[in-house]
Amino acid sequence: MREVVAVSERVQETPSTVTLRFAYPDEARPGQFVMLWIPGDDEIPMSLSYVGRSKGVTVKVMGSTSRHIQSLAPGAQIGVRGPYGNAFDLAPRRVLVVAGGSGAAVLAPAAEAAARVGSEVTAALGATTGSELLFEARFRQMGARVELATDDGSIGARGFVTGVSDSLLASTIFDAVWTCGPEVMMDKVIRSARRAGVPAYGSVERVMKCALGMCDACALGPYHVCVDGPVFPGDALTPLPEFGRFKREPSGRVVPH
Ligand SMILES: Cc1cc2nc3c(=O)[nH]c(=O)nc-3n(C[C@H](O)[C@H](O)[C@H](O)COP(=O)(O)OP(=O)(O)OC[C@H]3O[C@@H](n4cnc5c(N)ncnc54)[C@H](O)[C@@H]3O)c2cc1C
Ligand code: FES
C-alpha cells in the first residue's frame, strides 16, 4: 500500500533524534520498515518505531533528507509505502536486546511485542552520551531490565554497549539476542552471542531505492536487504566480507563503513 498521510505528532526524543507519528492503517510487524517520501526531497527507508494503527518513525540526523524529515511539524504531508521486509520472531522466552544509538528505534517495538506475549526482556542501550540514549523510559515501561552504556561515561557504564552485553551474556541465560546499531557493534554482539551459544539476529541498513527486490541497490552478499531482511540471523551476516566493513553509496560505489 502507499498513501500520503499527515504527520500527527512530532516528539524530540534526544538532541539528534525525532519521532514522527502518523495514521497508516496497514498492519506492520516489529522489524519492518516503510519507504518515506518527503515531497520536494527524496524517498528513504525508515524502520517503524511504532507499529500499531498510529505508526511512527524515529529519525536521527545524518544528511539533508533526515534533517528535512526532522523539520516537519504536525500537519505536514508525507508519502508512505510499505511496510516492507521481514520481522523479528517474537518467540524467545528470555531475550537480550542490544541497541547502539538509534538502533533502539527498531528494537523497542519488537521488545514491546515480545514483553506483551510474556517474554523477559533485558535491554542493553548504548549511546555516545547520556542525552542521546534513546527510549530508555519506553524499555523500562514495558518491564524490561535496562542496562546503559555511554562512550563518555555520563550515564551507565563508560565505553561501548558491547561491554555491557558481554557481561550480561556471561551472567544470564538468554534464548535469543536482537541487535541493531553500527555494524561493527552488531558484528561483536553476534560473535559474543555465538560464543555463549545464543542465536543472534541483527537488523541491517543498506541504501534502498525500490524496496521490492528489483533494483539491487541494497545488495549485501547474496541477499537483498529489502526483501531477505532487514532482520538476518547472525550466522548469515558474519561470514559476509562486507558486513561491518563496507557499504554501497547510492551511486553503487563501495566505501568503507
Ligand atoms: C531498513 C532501513 C531502516 C532504517 N531505519 C532508520 C531509522 O529508524 N532511523 C534513522 O534515522 N535512519 C534509518 N535508516 C537510515 C535512513 O534510511 C537514511 O540512510 C538516513 O536517514 C540518512 O539519510 P540522509 O539522506 O539524511 O543522509 P545521506 O545524505 O544519505 O547521508 C549523509 C551522511 O551520513 C552517512 N550515513 C547515512 N546513513 C547512515 C547510517 N545509517 N549510519 C551511518 N552513517 C550514515 C552517509 O554515508 C553520509 O556521509 C534506515 C535504513 C534502512 C535501509
Ligand atoms: S532496494 Fe531495490 S532491490 Fe532492495
- Return the closest-CA partner of residue 246 out of 202, 204, 194, 201: 204
Ligand 1 contact, 71 CB (< 6 A): no
- Return the closest-CA partner of residue 230 out of 220, 238, 241: 220
CA of 62 relative to ligand 1 center, distance in Å: 6
CA dist., res. 42 & res. 91, Å (int): 36
CA dist., res. 94 & res. 173, Å (int): 7
Q: Which residue has the cell 555463549?
A: 196
Ligand 2: which residues within 6 Å by Cβ? 208-211, 213-218, 224, 226
Fold of 94-251: Rossmann fold (3.40.50)
* The predicted structure's pLDDT at residue 245: 85
Tell me the per-residue pLDDT of 106-145, one tens digit each, with 9 for 90 and over: 999 999 999 999 999 999 999 999 999 999 999 999 999 9
Share of the chain above pLDDT 70, in %: 100
pTM, to two decimals: 0.95
Average pLDDT score, the chain: 96
Please check the confidence at residue 157 and state whether its pLDDT lies above 90.
Answer: yes
Cis amide bond preceding 83, omega within 30: yes
* The predicted structure's pLDDT at residue 246: 80
Q: Do domains 2-84 and 94-251 have the same CATH topology?
A: no
- Return the closest-CA partner of residue 222 out of 243, 207, 251: 243
Contacts of 41 (CB under 8 A, 6+ apart): 64, 65, 68
Please check the confidence at residue 91 and state whether its pLDDT lies above 90.
Answer: no
Assigned superfamily of 2-84: Translation factors (2.40.30.10)
* The predicted structure's pLDDT at residue 37: 96
Ligand 1 contact, 34 CB (< 6 A): no
CA of 41 relative to ligand 1 center, distance in Å: 15
* The predicted structure's pLDDT at residue 79: 97
Ligand 1 contact, 16 CB (< 6 A): no
pLDDT (average), residues 87-92: 90
Please check the confidence at residue 182 and state whether its pLDDT lies above 80.
Answer: yes
Q: For strand 120-127 and strand 145-150, is the pairing parallel, antiparallel, or unpaired?
A: parallel
Tell me the per-residue pLDDT of 214-244, one tens digit each, with 9 for 90 and over: 999 999 999 999 999 999 999 999 999 999 8
Nearest CA to ligand 2 atom 3: 213
Q: Any idea where the domains of the chain sit in the sequence?
A: 2-84, 94-251
* The predicted structure's pLDDT at residue 38: 95
